Copies of this chain bind each other. A is one copy, B any other.
C-alpha cells in the first residue's frame, strides 16, 4: 500500500477507535468537546504506531489502542497549546479552537480528560508490554519531554536574546520529537524487540518535521494548513529558518530524512512505507 493510502486508512481506523471509546460516555459538554478535539488531523503519530507494529508482526487490532492513545495525547496538547494564556490560537485543523467553540474552562477540562484517556487506552489488554508503553509515554509527554519543550518555547518568547540553534533543537526534541519517538518505537516496544533503529529514525524524523513546520510557517498557505501561519516571524522568534535561512533549512531537512531512512536498513523492504512517510513530512503543505 502506498504511504498516502496507508495514512488515510490509519487515520480513519484510529478515529473510529477513539469515537467508539467515547460513545458510551456521559452526555456533557466536556465529552462533546473531547470528540471535537479528536476529529481530523494528519494522524501521523497514530500511523507511526500502526506501521511500526506491522513491521514487527503485531496485528493491527492489537496495536490500535496505542495508536488511539498517542492521538488522544497529541489532541490534549493542541487544546491546551491553543488556550488564550498559551499560543492563543482561534483556528485548528480548519475549525474554531475548542475554547472559541465552547469556553476556556471546557477546553482545560477536555484537554485534561484527553490526557487521561491516552493512559486509559494504553491499559487495553490487547497491547503487549503495557507498562513499558505507559512509562515511555509519561516520560515523553511530561516535564522532561513535551511539557519541557512547551515551557522552553514560552520562556523563549520573553527571553532577552533569540535562541541558538542548539537551544531550538533541545526545545523541539521535547515539544514534538519525544511523542514522535514514542510513536515510531511503539511497535518494537509492544513486540519486545530492539527499539534502536526506530529510535534513530524517529530522532531524525522529529527534527526534520519541526524544520518543515518552520518552513511551512514562512512559505505556507493558511487555508491549506488549517491554522494561523507567519506567527513566528511576526513574534520575532528564532526558528530554523531565521537561523539557517530558507534554503539551508530545507537542505538540512532533506539530509535528516536521508539519515532517517538509512536508520531503517535492518528492516529492508518492510520499512518502505515508513521511508515514504519520512519524505512526506518535509513535502506536506499542512
Interface residues of A (CB under 8 A from B): 22, 25-26, 28-31, 34, 76, 80, 83, 85-86, 103-106, 108-109, 111-113, 115-117, 119-120, 122-123, 130-131, 134-135, 137-139, 141-144, 147-148, 150-152, 154-155
Contacts and interface: CB of A to CB of B under 8 A. Distances in A.
Closest 9 A/B residue pairs (Cβ): A85-B104, A120-B138, A116-B142, A123-B135, A30-B151, A113-B143, A113-B147, A119-B119, A85-B105
28 contacts: A26-B144, A28-B151, A28-B155, A30-B143, A30-B148, A83-B108, A85-B104, A85-B105, A85-B108, A106-B154, A109-B151, A111-B112, A112-B147, A113-B142, A113-B143, A115-B116, A116-B147, A119-B134, A120-B138, A120-B139, A120-B142, A122-B134, A123-B131, A123-B134, A123-B135, A123-B138, A131-B131, A131-B134
Contacts of A76: 112
A103, A119, A148: which has the most chain B beta carbons within 10 Å?
A119
Given A85-B108, A109-B151, A116 B143 contact: yes
B117 A142 contact: yes
A131 B126 CA distance: 13
B119 A150 contact: no
Contacts of A80: 108-109, 112
Contacts of A152: 28
A123 B132 CA distance: 8
B25 A144 contact: yes
Contacts of A154: 105-106, 109
Contacts of A120: 135, 138-139, 142
